[in-house]
Chain A
């Protein structure tokens, strides 16, 4: 089977990667993986196979979406991991968790990984879903800190691949490590992990035990075992890694929620950190890893905001919360960008905000201007209310019951008045046509050029609703409108001077 062919096929996305196909190709993978740098390239696949073979649940997830799969997986993983903190190395779920994250960096430095991986478009294509995940850190690996299933390493590794080749390598190392033995000290796993690695990387290496990348890649069976061993690594390793990673980055956000064991890992973390720089090849942030002195305080207290930590980011609770907050804000800014016309080219929060402010100001000015115009215009609105209310009846009644068109049309016809008898009618007609285009029914109504429709029997309910609706709205408007005329409760409403702030409210 063309294993390599598969790897390099972009279309071989999830299905190919995640599927059982991998298993069949597993035998090929190990030898390839073991081959030096080539292994790095194959790592992602390895990861895929590794993870894919493992838990069935993983497969299901993958098909839907990497990120969703990951999330689902992590969820289960976390739980298991949290429950069994003692099973550091053994906790299957845990290992998966952190390993994928940390694995890539461990294997090769960032610099090293990209090269071998490049020829693998498939790998890149696969993690599509993960990319934004990694890129934005938006992926919510629920229960990250918890157990990690074996499937994780693969899952994480995959998405990571395009984003961080280092991760791939680390995952690979992870596998090797697990294959070699769970008991492998964290140091070993850490050794060779790259510098820029985020805590995830560290975790990966730890999980892997021996961090030798491209080591003895076990065969299929080994993969499975390694996967299981990954799991076995459990959260303890992950936690250690995470703790170690804390020193590295700015905002780590892995939620280590369950883990007290993190505290213990101080030393290990330092070890990991030290070892990491050693292995780092082309890490971008080598200095972070290489700084053993950078020890973060023990894992923050249970922080159940499950956010994925990015490379080189701190993992304490504050950073985590900040990270979540930042992502929320960026999400909303994006939404605003769509709302405000002409903001697509604008980049940068400050400029965007300026645009938004200008837009809101212009809208408010428009409202003011139009209201002035309406005041002078004095449209014929006499019939409008009745017309509109009837339209409301129809609209409300008809929307859930599209069957009425025929009846409505006939009713409309029966009440035909002169076409556009009054400007009010025409106003409403054009208004509705132009702006609201509720449904084809309405157009038929307009065609009949009459909006004077007798409310059908079925609309009695709507009418009562409308009545209430009328009342409260009318009341408030009356208060507003009559502010000046009525003395007791309302004071005169005059607006001295120019309005600069929010219109009519200041």
Chain B
């Protein structure tokens, strides 16, 4: 699993603890600055979406390709460049099957068995919360020093 990380050019110093926070921060901040530089300020929505994609991308890269969800994320990111966005699906837990709802939530969950799905969900939650912390920190820092 971690060998794949190194394949990405990002050896994970914490193999068992998941993606390293610093790496995540680094990637994300880099991507963030890139997005800010490249998108015009007028298109905030577009920029917001891009930032979000950048967030997921940095998350997936930090997680490496050892995880099903990160692979699915990267796959989508790469394919997205070639096709238009599909109309979003309606997520409903009342689908009678919570596993289905979870599958829709976790990237790449459709093709997994339940057992793997749970495992991927756990890892996904870990990375998501790290990402959220990071972004929150950025927002807090910039808002405190903002204009």
Contacts and interface: CB of A to CB of B under 8 A. Distances in A.
A476 B78 CA distance: 8
A430 B115 CA distance: 39
A364 interface: yes
A388 B31 CA distance: 12
Contacts of A360: 102, 105-106, 121, 124-125, 128
Contact of A359 (B86, B115, B125, B146): B125
A135 interface: no
A328 B115 CA distance: 7
Nearest to A395: B22
A334 to B, nearest CB: 10
Nearest to B60: A476
Contacts of B138: 374, 379, 427, 431
A275 to B, nearest CB: 40
B11 A476 contact: no
A427 B145 contact: yes
Contact of A357 (B33, B35, B88, B102): B102
Nearest to B84: A491
A50 B22 CA distance: 56
A385 B30 CA distance: 6
Most buried by B among A366, A371, A376, A420: A371
A148 B99 CA distance: 41
Contacts of A336: 118, 121-122, 125
Interface in A464-506: 465, 468-474, 476-485, 489-506
B66 interface: no
Contacts of B54: 371, 477, 480-481
Most buried by B among A361, A469, A473, A496: A473
B62 to A, nearest CB: 9
A391 B20 CA distance: 14
Given A356-B102, A370-B139, A474-B34, A364 B9 contact: no
Contacts of A363: 125, 128-129, 132
Interface residues of A, number: 92
A243 interface: no
A504 B51 CA distance: 11
A465 B9 contact: yes
Contacts of A115: none
B73 to A, nearest CB: 7
A373 B146 CA distance: 13
A476 to B, nearest CB: 5
B82 A506 contact: no
Q: Could you tell me the dominant secondary structure of chain B's interface residues?
A: helix
B99 A353 contact: yes
Nearest to B126: A339
B52 A477 contact: no
Contacts of A427: 138, 141-142, 145
A432 interface: yes
A438 B22 contact: yes
Nearest to A359: B125
Contact of A477 (B57, B76, B122): B57
Contacts of B52: 367-368, 371-372, 503-504
Given A329-B115, A336-B125, A432 B98 contact: no
Nearest to A336: B122
Contact of A385 (B33, B128, B139): B33
B1 interface: no
Interface in A329-364: 329, 332-333, 335-336, 339-340, 350, 353-354, 356-357, 359-361, 363-364
A409 B53 CA distance: 37
A477 B31 contact: yes
Interface residues of B, number: 91
A479 B11 contact: no
Contacts of A1: none
Interface in B20-62: 21-23, 25-27, 29-36, 38-39, 41, 44-58, 61
Contacts of B38: 481-482, 485
A384 B141 CA distance: 12
Contacts of B140: 430
B88 A470 contact: no
Contacts of B57: 473, 476-477, 480
B105 A436 contact: no
Contacts of B41: 378
B131 to A, nearest CB: 6
A387 B6 CA distance: 23
B136 interface: yes
Nearest to A476: B57
B32 A381 contact: yes
A489 to B, nearest CB: 5
B142 A423 contact: yes
7 contacts: A339-B125, A367-B52, A375-B48, A428-B29, A473-B8, A479-B81, A506-B88
Given A367-B132, A480-B57, A504-B56, 17 more contacts: A325-B115, A356-B125, A357-B98, A367-B135, A375-B48, A423-B145, A426-B141, A430-B137, A473-B27, A473-B30, A481-B31, A484-B46, A491-B84, A494-B84, A502-B105, A503-B56, A505-B76
Interface of A: 325, 328-329, 332-333, 335-336, 339-340, 350, 353-354, 356-357, 359-361, 363-364, 366-368, 370-382, 384-385, 388-389, 391-392, 395-396, 399, 420, 423, 426-428, 430-432, 434-436, 438, 465, 468-474, 476-485, 489-506
Can you list the 8 inter-chain pairs with the closest CB atoms, starting with the nearest?
A: A379-B142, A468-B9, A381-B33, A427-B141, A375-B48, A371-B52, A423-B145, A501-B89
